[in-house]
Homo-oligomer: A and B are copies of this chain.
Protein backbone atom coordinates (compact mmCIF):
# COMPACT_ATOMS: atom_id res chain seq x y z
CA UNK A 1 0.00 0.00 0.00
CA UNK A 2 2.16 2.78 -1.29
CA UNK A 3 1.46 6.12 -2.90
CA UNK A 4 3.22 6.06 -6.25
CA UNK A 5 3.65 8.81 -8.81
CA UNK A 6 4.40 7.23 -12.18
CA UNK A 7 5.49 9.11 -15.27
CA UNK A 8 5.13 7.66 -18.77
CA UNK A 9 6.85 9.45 -21.66
CA UNK A 10 5.78 10.01 -25.25
CA UNK A 11 6.95 6.66 -26.62
CA UNK A 12 5.20 4.81 -23.77
CA UNK A 13 1.85 6.39 -24.75
CA UNK A 14 2.59 6.67 -28.50
CA UNK A 15 -0.44 4.72 -29.71
CA UNK A 16 -3.79 3.39 -28.51
CA UNK A 17 -2.07 -0.01 -28.00
CA UNK A 18 0.69 1.49 -25.88
CA UNK A 19 -1.84 3.47 -23.82
CA UNK A 20 -3.63 0.15 -23.31
CA UNK A 21 -0.37 -1.37 -21.98
CA UNK A 22 0.19 1.57 -19.61
CA UNK A 23 -3.39 1.25 -18.32
CA UNK A 24 -2.80 -2.46 -17.73
CA UNK A 25 0.34 -1.71 -15.70
CA UNK A 26 -1.35 1.06 -13.69
CA UNK A 27 -4.43 -1.07 -13.01
CA UNK A 28 -2.08 -3.79 -11.75
CA UNK A 29 -0.57 -1.47 -9.12
CA UNK A 30 -4.06 -0.29 -8.16
CA UNK A 31 -5.25 -3.88 -7.78
CA UNK A 32 -2.32 -4.52 -5.40
CA UNK A 33 -3.66 -1.70 -3.26
CA UNK A 34 -1.30 1.11 -4.26
CA UNK A 35 -2.58 4.64 -4.78
CA UNK A 36 -1.40 5.81 -8.18
CA UNK A 37 -0.95 9.25 -9.72
CA UNK A 38 0.06 9.00 -13.37
CA UNK A 39 1.83 11.79 -15.26
CA UNK A 40 1.88 11.52 -19.05
CA UNK A 41 3.50 13.27 -21.97
CA UNK A 42 2.02 13.94 -25.39
CA UNK A 43 1.81 10.91 -27.70
CA UNK A 44 5.12 10.65 -29.54
CA UNK A 45 5.04 12.74 -32.71
CA UNK A 46 2.20 14.96 -31.48
CA UNK A 47 4.39 17.74 -30.12
CA UNK A 48 6.33 17.84 -33.39
CA UNK A 49 3.07 17.97 -35.34
CA UNK A 50 1.93 20.98 -33.30
CA UNK A 51 5.31 22.71 -33.57
CA UNK A 52 5.15 22.27 -37.35
CA UNK A 53 1.70 23.89 -37.49
CA UNK A 54 3.08 26.89 -35.60
CA UNK A 55 6.19 27.06 -37.77
CA UNK A 56 3.99 27.20 -40.85
CA UNK A 57 2.53 30.39 -39.44
CA UNK A 58 5.53 32.18 -38.02
CA UNK A 59 9.22 31.60 -37.39
CA UNK A 60 8.81 33.32 -34.04
CA UNK A 61 5.33 32.47 -32.76
CA UNK A 62 4.45 34.24 -29.47
CA UNK A 63 5.50 31.97 -26.62
CA UNK A 64 2.21 32.46 -24.76
CA UNK A 65 0.35 31.00 -27.74
CA UNK A 66 2.93 28.21 -28.20
CA UNK A 67 2.05 27.07 -24.70
CA UNK A 68 -1.69 27.14 -25.45
CA UNK A 69 -0.96 25.04 -28.54
CA UNK A 70 1.54 22.54 -27.12
CA UNK A 71 -0.38 21.89 -23.91
CA UNK A 72 -3.13 20.23 -25.97
CA UNK A 73 -0.76 17.32 -26.64
CA UNK A 74 -0.75 16.07 -23.04
CA UNK A 75 -4.42 16.92 -22.66
CA UNK A 76 -5.30 14.41 -25.38
CA UNK A 77 -3.22 11.73 -23.63
CA UNK A 78 -4.78 12.23 -20.18
CA UNK A 79 -8.28 11.87 -21.66
CA UNK A 80 -7.39 8.73 -23.62
CA UNK A 81 -5.59 7.05 -20.68
CA UNK A 82 -8.44 7.87 -18.28
CA UNK A 83 -10.96 6.40 -20.73
CA UNK A 84 -8.87 3.25 -21.03
CA UNK A 85 -8.59 2.87 -17.24
CA UNK A 86 -12.33 3.41 -16.80
CA UNK A 87 -13.11 0.81 -19.45
CA UNK A 88 -10.98 -1.64 -17.46
CA UNK A 89 -13.14 -0.90 -14.42
CA UNK A 90 -10.45 1.21 -12.79
CA UNK A 91 -11.99 4.57 -11.77
CA UNK A 92 -9.84 7.42 -13.11
CA UNK A 93 -9.85 11.19 -13.48
CA UNK A 94 -7.80 13.37 -15.75
CA UNK A 95 -6.38 16.77 -14.82
CA UNK A 96 -4.61 19.38 -16.91
CA UNK A 97 -1.79 21.29 -15.23
CA UNK A 98 -4.12 24.25 -14.73
CA UNK A 99 -6.85 22.04 -13.25
CA UNK A 100 -4.51 20.56 -10.63
CA UNK A 101 -3.25 24.06 -10.21
CA UNK A 102 0.41 23.53 -10.89
CA UNK A 103 1.39 27.13 -10.40
CA UNK A 104 4.45 28.30 -12.35
CA UNK A 105 6.19 31.57 -13.09
CA UNK A 106 5.22 33.24 -16.37
CA UNK A 107 8.27 32.27 -18.45
CA UNK A 108 6.31 30.77 -21.30
CA UNK A 109 7.83 27.62 -22.93
CA UNK A 110 10.32 27.24 -20.05
CA UNK A 111 8.31 27.98 -16.92
CA UNK A 112 9.37 26.85 -13.46
CA UNK A 113 7.00 25.29 -10.96
CA UNK A 114 6.39 27.47 -7.91
CA UNK A 115 3.65 25.63 -6.10
CA UNK A 116 1.46 22.56 -6.47
CA UNK A 117 -2.02 22.40 -5.02
CA UNK A 118 -2.86 18.77 -4.23
CA UNK A 119 -6.15 19.03 -2.38
CA UNK A 120 -8.30 17.95 -5.35
CA UNK A 121 -5.95 15.06 -6.05
CA UNK A 122 -6.00 13.94 -2.43
CA UNK A 123 -9.81 13.97 -2.43
CA UNK A 124 -9.82 11.81 -5.57
CA UNK A 125 -7.26 9.39 -4.13
CA UNK A 126 -9.49 8.94 -1.08
CA UNK A 127 -12.31 7.96 -3.44
CA UNK A 128 -10.06 5.23 -4.88
CA UNK A 129 -9.50 6.96 -8.20
CA UNK A 130 -6.35 6.79 -10.30
CA UNK A 131 -5.32 10.35 -11.12
CA UNK A 132 -3.99 11.11 -14.57
CA UNK A 133 -2.15 14.43 -14.83
CA UNK A 134 -0.89 16.19 -17.96
CA UNK A 135 2.86 16.58 -17.62
CA UNK A 136 4.94 19.50 -18.86
CA UNK A 137 2.33 22.17 -18.15
CA UNK A 138 0.95 24.51 -15.55
CA UNK A 139 -0.66 27.88 -15.14
CA UNK A 140 0.73 31.22 -14.04
CA UNK A 141 -0.98 33.30 -11.38
CA UNK A 142 -3.02 35.13 -14.07
CA UNK A 143 -4.47 31.89 -15.40
CA UNK A 144 -2.28 31.77 -18.53
CA UNK A 145 -1.26 28.29 -19.67
CA UNK A 146 2.49 27.67 -19.32
CA UNK A 147 4.77 24.81 -20.30
CA UNK A 148 7.93 23.65 -18.60
CA UNK A 149 9.87 23.03 -21.80
CA UNK A 150 10.68 19.69 -23.42
CA UNK A 151 11.05 16.83 -20.99
CA UNK A 152 9.26 18.84 -18.33
CA UNK A 153 6.94 15.92 -17.60
CA UNK A 154 9.66 14.41 -15.39
CA UNK A 155 9.64 17.61 -13.37
CA UNK A 156 5.84 17.52 -13.09
CA UNK A 157 6.05 13.98 -11.72
CA UNK A 158 8.71 14.88 -9.15
CA UNK A 159 6.83 18.03 -8.08
CA UNK A 160 3.62 16.04 -7.56
CA UNK A 161 5.51 13.32 -5.68
CA UNK A 162 7.06 15.96 -3.41
CA UNK A 163 3.74 17.74 -2.78
CA UNK A 164 1.87 14.48 -2.16
CA UNK A 165 4.73 13.07 -0.09
CA UNK A 166 4.68 9.98 -2.31
CA UNK A 167 6.59 6.85 -1.41
CA UNK A 168 8.29 6.77 -4.80
CA UNK A 169 8.37 8.67 -8.05
CA UNK A 170 8.76 6.19 -10.90
CA UNK A 171 9.92 7.40 -14.29
CA UNK A 172 8.97 4.86 -16.97
CA UNK A 173 11.04 5.22 -20.10
CA UNK A 174 12.41 3.17 -22.99
CA UNK A 175 15.50 2.06 -21.08
CA UNK A 176 15.38 -0.20 -18.05
CA UNK A 177 17.56 1.90 -15.79
CA UNK A 178 20.75 3.90 -15.48
CA UNK A 179 23.88 2.16 -16.81
CA UNK A 180 27.55 2.37 -15.91
CA UNK A 181 27.93 3.85 -19.38
CA UNK A 182 26.14 3.85 -22.74
CA UNK A 183 25.50 0.18 -23.63
CA UNK A 184 25.79 1.08 -27.31
CA UNK A 185 29.47 1.85 -26.69
CA UNK A 186 30.34 -0.72 -24.06
CA UNK A 187 28.56 -4.00 -24.62
CA UNK A 188 28.84 -5.23 -21.05
CA UNK A 189 27.76 -1.98 -19.44
CA UNK A 190 25.87 -2.78 -16.28
CA UNK A 191 22.53 -1.48 -14.99
CA UNK A 192 23.02 0.19 -11.61
CA UNK A 193 20.61 -0.83 -8.85
CA UNK A 194 21.07 2.57 -7.29
CA UNK A 195 22.88 5.84 -7.81
CA UNK A 196 22.99 9.02 -5.75
CA UNK A 197 21.32 12.25 -6.89
CA UNK A 198 24.71 13.93 -7.22
CA UNK A 199 26.04 11.16 -9.41
CA UNK A 200 22.85 11.19 -11.48
CA UNK A 201 23.21 14.93 -11.97
CA UNK A 202 26.78 14.58 -13.13
CA UNK A 203 25.86 11.70 -15.44
CA UNK A 204 22.94 13.70 -16.86
CA UNK A 205 24.96 16.85 -17.39
CA UNK A 206 27.50 14.78 -19.27
CA UNK A 207 24.98 13.57 -21.81
CA UNK A 208 23.42 10.55 -20.14
CA UNK A 209 19.90 11.68 -21.04
CA UNK A 210 17.78 9.25 -19.05
CA UNK A 211 16.25 11.97 -16.90
CA UNK A 212 15.82 15.71 -17.08
CA UNK A 213 18.46 17.45 -14.98
CA UNK A 214 15.86 19.76 -13.45
CA UNK A 215 13.77 16.79 -12.36
CA UNK A 216 16.79 15.21 -10.64
CA UNK A 217 17.68 18.49 -8.91
CA UNK A 218 14.09 18.88 -7.79
CA UNK A 219 13.92 15.30 -6.50
CA UNK A 220 17.18 15.80 -4.60
CA UNK A 221 16.02 19.06 -3.08
CA UNK A 222 12.68 17.65 -1.90
CA UNK A 223 14.12 14.23 -1.05
CA UNK A 224 11.79 12.34 -3.37
CA UNK A 225 12.94 8.75 -4.00
CA UNK A 226 13.17 8.51 -7.77
CA UNK A 227 13.27 5.30 -9.80
CA UNK A 228 13.94 4.86 -13.52
CA UNK A 229 12.24 1.81 -15.05
CA UNK A 230 11.29 0.41 -18.45
CA UNK A 231 7.73 0.83 -19.74
CA UNK A 232 8.14 -2.22 -21.89
CA UNK A 233 9.70 -4.88 -19.67
CA UNK A 234 9.57 -5.91 -16.02
CA UNK A 235 12.51 -5.10 -13.77
CA UNK A 236 13.60 -3.14 -10.72
CA UNK A 237 15.17 -0.26 -12.69
CA UNK A 238 17.57 2.08 -10.95
CA UNK A 239 16.77 3.84 -7.68
CA UNK A 240 18.16 7.33 -7.29
CA UNK A 241 18.87 7.81 -3.60
CA UNK A 242 19.77 10.63 -1.28
CA UNK A 243 21.96 8.58 0.93
CA UNK A 244 25.17 7.30 -0.57
CA UNK A 245 25.57 4.74 2.24
CA UNK A 246 22.31 3.12 1.24
CA UNK A 247 23.77 2.59 -2.18
CA UNK A 248 24.28 -1.06 -2.93
CA UNK A 249 27.26 -0.28 -5.10
CA UNK A 250 30.30 0.53 -3.06
CA UNK A 251 32.45 1.17 -6.09
CA UNK A 252 34.69 4.22 -6.26
CA UNK A 253 33.46 5.03 -9.73
CA UNK A 254 29.76 4.56 -10.50
CA UNK A 255 29.69 5.36 -14.15
CA UNK A 256 31.28 6.87 -17.22
CA UNK A 257 29.48 9.63 -19.05
CA UNK A 258 30.45 11.25 -22.33
CA UNK A 259 29.25 14.01 -24.59
CA UNK A 260 29.87 14.50 -28.29
CA UNK A 261 28.02 17.80 -28.54
CA UNK A 262 30.85 20.14 -27.70
CA UNK A 263 33.55 22.05 -29.49
CA UNK A 264 36.75 23.55 -28.09
CA UNK A 265 37.99 27.11 -28.63
CA UNK A 266 41.43 28.43 -27.67
CA UNK A 267 42.78 31.98 -27.67
CA UNK A 268 46.55 32.05 -27.36
CA UNK A 269 49.16 34.68 -26.49
CA UNK A 270 46.95 36.88 -24.37
CA UNK A 271 48.43 39.08 -21.63
CA UNK A 272 48.47 37.38 -18.25
CA UNK A 273 46.74 40.25 -16.44
CA UNK A 274 43.71 40.49 -14.14
CA UNK A 275 40.35 40.74 -15.92
CA UNK A 276 41.46 39.11 -19.13
CA UNK A 277 39.25 36.04 -18.68
CA UNK A 278 36.26 38.30 -18.20
CA UNK A 279 37.11 40.34 -21.29
CA UNK A 280 37.11 37.15 -23.30
CA UNK A 281 34.16 35.29 -21.80
CA UNK A 282 31.95 38.34 -21.16
CA UNK A 283 30.95 38.84 -24.82
CA UNK A 284 30.43 35.07 -25.21
CA UNK A 285 27.98 35.06 -22.32
CA UNK A 286 26.21 38.16 -23.61
CA UNK A 287 25.62 36.32 -26.88
CA UNK A 288 23.78 33.66 -24.83
CA UNK A 289 26.40 31.03 -25.61
CA UNK A 290 26.83 28.57 -22.75
CA UNK A 291 30.41 27.82 -21.84
CA UNK A 292 31.17 24.48 -20.23
CA UNK A 293 34.76 23.48 -19.38
CA UNK A 294 37.23 26.38 -18.96
CA UNK A 295 40.99 25.92 -18.60
CA UNK A 296 43.70 28.56 -18.41
CA UNK A 297 47.46 27.97 -18.40
CA UNK A 298 50.41 30.31 -18.17
CA UNK A 299 53.02 30.02 -20.90
CA UNK A 300 56.73 30.53 -20.29
CA UNK A 301 56.83 33.87 -22.12
CA UNK A 302 54.45 35.45 -19.62
CA UNK A 303 51.43 35.29 -21.92
CA UNK A 304 48.61 32.91 -21.28
CA UNK A 305 46.15 30.76 -23.22
CA UNK A 306 42.48 30.30 -22.44
CA UNK A 307 40.57 27.27 -23.69
CA UNK A 308 36.87 26.58 -23.25
CA UNK A 309 34.16 24.39 -24.72
CA UNK A 310 30.77 25.39 -26.11
CA UNK A 311 27.96 23.51 -27.81
CA UNK A 312 28.97 22.56 -31.36
CA UNK A 313 26.03 24.55 -32.76
CA UNK A 314 27.50 27.68 -31.17
CA UNK A 315 31.09 27.16 -32.35
CA UNK A 316 30.95 29.36 -35.46
CA UNK A 317 29.41 32.28 -33.59
CA UNK A 318 31.82 31.92 -30.67
CA UNK A 319 34.77 31.78 -33.04
CA UNK A 320 33.70 35.00 -34.76
CA UNK A 321 33.32 36.79 -31.43
CA UNK A 322 36.66 35.46 -30.27
CA UNK A 323 38.43 36.67 -33.41
CA UNK A 324 37.26 40.22 -32.68
CA UNK A 325 38.39 39.95 -29.07
CA UNK A 326 41.79 38.58 -30.18
CA UNK A 327 42.31 41.69 -32.34
CA UNK A 328 41.61 43.99 -29.41
CA UNK A 329 43.93 42.00 -27.16
CA UNK A 330 46.54 41.69 -29.92
CA UNK A 331 46.49 37.95 -29.39
CA UNK A 332 48.12 36.11 -32.26
CA UNK A 333 45.72 33.21 -32.77
CA UNK A 334 42.29 31.68 -32.20
CA UNK A 335 41.88 27.94 -32.60
CA UNK A 336 38.56 26.10 -32.96
CA UNK A 337 38.18 22.34 -32.83
CA UNK A 338 34.89 20.46 -33.22
CA UNK A 339 36.42 16.99 -33.23
CA UNK A 340 36.51 16.55 -29.49
CA UNK A 341 34.54 14.70 -26.84
CA UNK A 342 34.23 15.02 -23.11
CA UNK A 343 34.58 11.83 -21.07
CA UNK A 344 33.86 11.86 -17.34
CA UNK A 345 34.25 9.40 -14.49
CA UNK A 346 31.49 9.92 -11.94
CA UNK A 347 31.26 8.51 -8.43
CA UNK A 348 30.65 9.67 -4.86
CA UNK A 349 33.29 7.17 -3.81
CA UNK A 350 36.00 9.43 -5.26
CA UNK A 351 35.65 11.74 -2.28
CA UNK A 352 37.37 9.23 -0.06
CA UNK A 353 39.62 7.53 -2.58
CA UNK A 354 42.84 9.02 -3.83
CA UNK A 355 44.38 7.87 -7.03
CA UNK A 356 41.29 7.81 -9.22
CA UNK A 357 42.62 10.59 -11.44
CA UNK A 358 46.04 9.04 -11.84
CA UNK A 359 44.51 5.64 -12.65
CA UNK A 360 42.35 7.36 -15.28
CA UNK A 361 45.28 9.18 -16.89
CA UNK A 362 47.40 6.01 -16.81
CA UNK A 363 44.67 3.99 -18.54
CA UNK A 364 44.34 6.60 -21.27
CA UNK A 365 48.13 6.81 -21.70
CA UNK A 366 48.38 3.02 -22.04
CA UNK A 367 45.96 3.31 -24.91
CA UNK A 368 47.89 6.19 -26.54
CA UNK A 369 45.03 8.60 -26.01
CA UNK A 370 46.14 12.22 -25.68
CA UNK A 371 44.33 14.34 -23.09
CA UNK A 372 43.58 17.90 -24.30
CA UNK A 373 41.90 19.32 -21.23
CA UNK A 374 41.24 18.19 -17.66
CA UNK A 375 38.82 19.46 -15.04
CA UNK A 376 37.76 17.93 -11.80
CA UNK A 377 35.00 18.30 -9.25
CA UNK A 378 34.46 16.49 -5.97
CA UNK A 379 32.71 13.51 -7.56
CA UNK A 380 33.79 13.80 -11.20
CA UNK A 381 36.91 13.86 -13.34
CA UNK A 382 36.43 15.11 -16.88
CA UNK A 383 38.87 14.93 -19.76
CA UNK A 384 38.57 16.28 -23.27
CA UNK A 385 40.02 14.01 -25.93
CA UNK A 386 39.90 13.59 -29.70
CA UNK A 387 36.52 12.30 -30.85
CA UNK A 388 38.05 9.34 -32.71
CA UNK A 389 39.30 7.93 -29.37
CA UNK A 390 35.89 8.00 -27.67
CA UNK A 391 34.94 4.30 -27.86
CA UNK A 392 38.44 3.12 -27.02
CA UNK A 393 38.66 5.45 -24.02
CA UNK A 394 35.26 4.55 -22.58
CA UNK A 395 35.83 0.79 -22.97
CA UNK A 396 39.29 0.94 -21.46
CA UNK A 397 38.11 3.00 -18.47
CA UNK A 398 35.07 0.76 -17.98
CA UNK A 399 37.35 -2.26 -17.66
CA UNK A 400 39.99 -0.44 -15.67
CA UNK A 401 37.48 0.60 -12.97
CA UNK A 402 35.76 -2.78 -12.89
CA UNK A 403 32.37 -1.61 -14.02
CA UNK A 404 31.51 -4.66 -16.16
CA UNK A 405 28.37 -6.62 -15.55
CA UNK A 406 27.05 -9.71 -17.22
CA UNK A 407 25.97 -7.65 -20.20
CA UNK A 408 22.26 -7.94 -19.49
CA UNK A 409 21.12 -5.48 -22.14
Contact = CB atoms under 8 A, between A and B. Distances in A.
A79 B68 CA distance: 6
A56 B61 CA distance: 34
A118 to B, nearest CB: 14
Interface residues of A, number: 37
Interface in A50-80: 50, 53-54, 56-58, 61-62, 64-66, 68-69, 71-72, 75-76, 78-80
B69 A86 contact: no
A330 interface: no
A362 interface: no
A374 interface: no
A143 interface: yes
Contact of A143 (B62, B94, B99): B99
Contact of A83 (B54, B79, B80, B94): B54
Nearest to A67: B79
A87 interface: yes
Nearest to A72: B72
Contact of A16 (B57, B69, B76, B98): B57
A238 interface: no
A49 to B, nearest CB: 10
A20 B58 CA distance: 11
A13 to B, nearest CB: 12
Interface in A10-59: 16, 19-20, 50, 53-54, 56-58
Given A57-B16, A75-B72, A76-B53, A83 B62 contact: yes
Nearest to A19: B57
B65 A94 contact: yes
Contacts of A93: 64
A62 B82 contact: yes
Contacts of A87: 57-58, 61
Given A66-B83, A75-B75, 8 more contacts: A19-B57, A20-B57, A50-B76, A62-B82, A64-B93, A65-B80, A96-B145, A99-B144
